[in-house]
Chain A
Amino acid sequence: MNDISTWDIVRNLLDGALWTIGLSLTAFVLGGIAGLALLFARIAKNPIPRRLAQGYIEVFQGTPLLMQLFMIFFGSSLLGLEISPWIAAALGLTLFTSAYLGEIWRGCVESVPKGQWEASASLALTHFEQMRHVILPQALRIAIAPTVGFSVQVVKGTAVTSIIGFVELTKTGSMLANATFQPFMVFGCVALGYFALCYPLSAYSRYLERNIHGSRAH
């Protein structure tokens, strides 16, 4: 009854990898948008959004992604919402991503020297204008490398969604390992797949980081 060939394994793993890529992109884009909102809340003058954003970040950085996914997946239907593993995975990873990106970006904004704020304030710019024209352009340059670096964590985080039944690369792998009884080969291929996705991102992030430091030294 073992009618699964090596080609079937590779073909199915490639299919699974497409879902991993799709989920990563979704979580990264949506998480980036939510992260930007968090960033603004986090550096607002009003303490209420600041505290709320801080609490949000602490909760999502202080609990396991797996638990967040379980809560969303099994909790949402108690609230009368029907969500599929795909929606739960996308939502869970988006929230997770936003918490980390919001915090990374805040660090970048704060690393812009104080003098820049003071100088731009003396030009009678509003808080928003200061951000838009002076602070963010500088923070953005600093932020690119750690942001690309964090994207690796997002791709790796998608593996955890296999546990709530979202069929991506890892889930495809464990299904195949059971159907073929070749766990060494299958999980070896799965690991290679993730490496192929993540390594270019890591390397690019390092390249960016070197470039920024290099140009700063001038």
Chain B
Amino acid sequence: MNKRHFLRSLIATALLGTAGLSLHAHADALANAEKAGTIRIAVPQDFPPFGTVGPDLKPRGYDIDVANLIGRELKLKVEIIPVSSTNRIPYLTTGKADLVISSLGKNPDREKVIDFSVAYAPFFNGIFGPSDIAIKTAADTAGKTVGVTRGSVEDLEYSKIAPANATIKRFEDNNSTISAYLSGQVQLVATGNVVAAAVNERTKIRRLDTKFLIKNSPCYVGVNKGEAALLAKVNEVVGKLKKSGELNQVSQRWLQAPLPADL
């Protein structure tokens, strides 16, 4: 046993040994949810049009509609849990939610930690900013201040291609990222095309023009590792919703565009 490993297990034992608690964070989420009659779904509340709040501060948007449709198909009551993009994966892995429907993009790092369903929504991320800054490629962002929500796919993708002297400011949640842009704290933002469109609907100052797109990164439902039954069920339901045209209606309602055929 090497030394570091030993130290690690020692700390772990010390942390847990006392109470003799067994660590079954999530045994079989589907069975548990069916027993409880409720499925807990993490959704965004600060990411229009996927999830934002209405005058009653209740989440609404594309992801919330999808969550409710999935709940209906599973014949379970849906408990909506609003999360930010920083903590949505911890919510899942620490067993605070059964599903994450929170405009979650797929990448290899995340696939090591959680499983993904089939795609349920289109998403192109890119760099957006005011019309008076001329930018066409990632190289043009040199010397610029770019706001992004920490841990989002945009963060990971733009961080890879950003020139060394571009300043990336990573905010806790999308609220802060967008507020920072609108109050002029950052010059540009990396976000999704539909997010920019939704922001533009609500603001007259500092509209977000598309500068360039980085990646086609559709959204998937996130499920914990080892939850094969739940994952299969979710895939089945999403497939069914696509076929029935209901997912297309959600897309029309929130993205004002039909669901892309290749999704």
Whether both chains belong to one complex is answered with yes
Jot down 9 A-B pairs with beta carbons below 8 A, ordered by A: A3-B54, A12-B57, A77-B96, A82-B96, A165-B82, A178-B178, A179-B53, A181-B179, A181-B202
Q: Would A8 and B25 be within 8 Å (CB), given that A82-B96, A165-B82, A178-B175 are in contact?
A: no
Is B83's beta carbon under 8 Å from chain A? yes
State whether A175 touches B57 (Cβ < 8 A).
yes
Is A138's beta carbon under 8 Å from chain B? no
A2 and B205 CA atoms in complex are apart in Å by: 14
State whether B94 touches A175 (Cβ < 8 A).
no
**CB of B183 to closest CB in A, whole Å:** 6
**CB under 8 Å from chain A, chain B span 127-158:** none
- Select which of A1, A3, A74, A181 is within 8 A of B94 by beta carbon: A74
**CB under 8 Å from chain B, chain A span 119-177:** 163-165, 167, 172, 174-177
User: Cβ of B53: which chain A residues have Cβ within 8 Å of it?
Assistant: 175, 179
A174 and B53 CA atoms in complex are apart in Å by: 11
**Chain B residue with the shortest CB-CB distance to A2:** B202
State whether B57 touches A80 (Cβ < 8 A).
no
Tell me the count of chain B residues lying within 8 A, CB to CB, of chain A.
34
State whether B25 touches A80 (Cβ < 8 A).
yes
Beta-carbon contacts of A1-14 to B below 8 Å, as 1s and 0s? 11111001000100
Stretch at the interface among B15-23, B215-223, B235-243: B15-23
A12 and B55 CA atoms in complex are apart in Å by: 8
**CB of A77 to closest CB in B, whole Å:** 4
**Chain B residue with the shortest CB-CB distance to A186:** B179
State whether A165 touches B84 (Cβ < 8 A).
yes
Beyond the given pairs A12-B55, A77-B25, A181-B179, 15 more chain A to chain B contacts, judged by CB atoms under 8 angstroms and listed by A's residue number, are: A1-B198, A4-B55, A8-B55, A12-B57, A77-B95, A78-B23, A79-B19, A79-B23, A80-B23, A165-B87, A174-B175, A175-B53, A175-B57, A178-B175, A178-B178
Is A193's beta carbon under 8 Å from chain B? no
State whether B175 touches A177 (Cβ < 8 A).
yes
- Select which of B24, B45, B178 is within 8 A of A175 by beta carbon: B45
**Could you tell me which A residues sit within 8 Å of B by CB distance?**
1-5, 8, 12, 15, 74, 77-80, 82, 163-165, 167, 172, 174-179, 181, 183
Is B251's beta carbon under 8 Å from chain A? no
Beta-carbon contacts of B18-58 to A below 8 Å, as 1s and 0s? 01011111000000000000000000011000001111010
- Select which of B90, B172, B179 is within 8 A of A183 by beta carbon: B179
Closest 9 pairs (CB-CB, A-B): A178-B175, A77-B94, A8-B55, A77-B95, A2-B202, A1-B201, A4-B55, A79-B21, A74-B94
**CB of A18 to closest CB in B, whole Å:** 13
State whether A74 touches B90 (Cβ < 8 A).
yes
Is B182's beta carbon under 8 Å from chain A? yes
State whether B21 touches A179 (Cβ < 8 A).
no
A172 and B53 CA atoms in complex are apart in Å by: 10
State whether A181 touches B182 (Cβ < 8 A).
yes
A4 and B52 CA atoms in complex are apart in Å by: 12
A174 and B177 CA atoms in complex are apart in Å by: 12
User: Cβ of B21: which chain A residues have Cβ within 8 Å of it?
Assistant: 79-80
**CB of A187 to closest CB in B, whole Å:** 10
**Chain A residue with the shortest CB-CB distance to B178:** A178
State whether A79 touches B16 (Cβ < 8 A).
yes
Q: Would A178 and B22 be within 8 Å (CB), given that A78-B94, A163-B172 are in contact?
A: no
User: Cβ of A174: which chain B residues have Cβ within 8 Å of it?
Assistant: 175-176
User: Cβ of B172: which chain A residues have Cβ within 8 Å of it?
Assistant: 163
State whether A80 touches B203 (Cβ < 8 A).
no
User: Cβ of B179: which chain A residues have Cβ within 8 Å of it?
Assistant: 177-178, 181, 183
